[in-house]
């Protein structure tokens, strides 16, 4: 008999609005940014419909502390265990994104070439857009070939702010 997955979630204010961090016993399964904590909560429950979601309120744990350390400029790399569902290609892209140094950017084309799939630029962009763990998988560090920011699931202004934040803390 399969038991429902248990997820513990924390939502707290941060420099980018509100930050949601959700994790199972195996790792972080969601990191989201938004303007409204209720909308973040609703989205989490919709994405993990069969899971039991426990709310830790503003309680702090090690993983939350690490992410807040990143947002405060103290933590440059987020090497946290993940519990995410992904296609093999998404996993390849997300692992490649985790190698982009703090404060640096790469283009979608460069990521595709790094993966040995130079024509998979749009697929790389789709993998970035479907990333469920913002910040840990730093899709905000991927830009268009012309240097423009492109899109960002959590809003282009947040992407701009994250890149400026990293540049200021190098």
> Hey, which residues are catalytic here?
139
Can you tell me the distance from the alpha carbon of 158 to that of 146, in angstroms, rounded to the nearest whole number? Answer: 19
How many CA atoms does the CB half-sphere of 124 hold within 13 Å?
28
Helices vs strands, H then E, count in the chain: 6, 6
Can you tell me the distance from the alpha carbon of 99 to that of 105, in angstroms, rounded to the nearest whole number? Answer: 11
Tokens for 147, please give them.
């240097």
Can you tell me the distance from the alpha carbon of 141 to that of 139, in angstroms, rounded to the nearest whole number? Answer: 5
Can you tell me the distance from the alpha carbon of 23 to that of 26, in angstroms, rounded to the nearest whole number? Answer: 8
Identify whether the C-beta of residue 63 lies closer than 8 Å to the C-beta of residue 78. Answer: no
């Amino acid at each position: 008999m399969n038991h429902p997955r248990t997820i513990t979630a924390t939502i707290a204010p941060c420099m980018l609005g509100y930050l949601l961090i959700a994790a199972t016993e195996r790792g972080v399964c969601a990191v989201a940014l938004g303007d409204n904590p209720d909308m973040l909560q609703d989205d989490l429950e919709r994405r993990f419909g069969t899971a039991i979601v426990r709310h830790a309120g503003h309680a702090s744990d090690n993983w939350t502390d690490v992410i807040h350390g990143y947002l405060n400029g103290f933590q440059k790399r987020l090497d946290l265990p993940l519990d995410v569902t992904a296609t093999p290609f998404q996993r390849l892209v997300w692992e490649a994104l985790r190698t982009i140094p703090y404060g640096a950017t790469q283009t979608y084309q460069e990521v595709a070439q790094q993966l040995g799939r130079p024509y998979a630029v749009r697929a790389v962009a789709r993998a970035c857009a479907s990333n469920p763990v913002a910040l840990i998988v730093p899709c905000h560090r991927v830009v268009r070939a012309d240097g423009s920011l492109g899109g960002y699931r959590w809003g282009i202004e947040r992407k701009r702010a994250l890149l400026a934040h990293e540049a200021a803390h190098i």
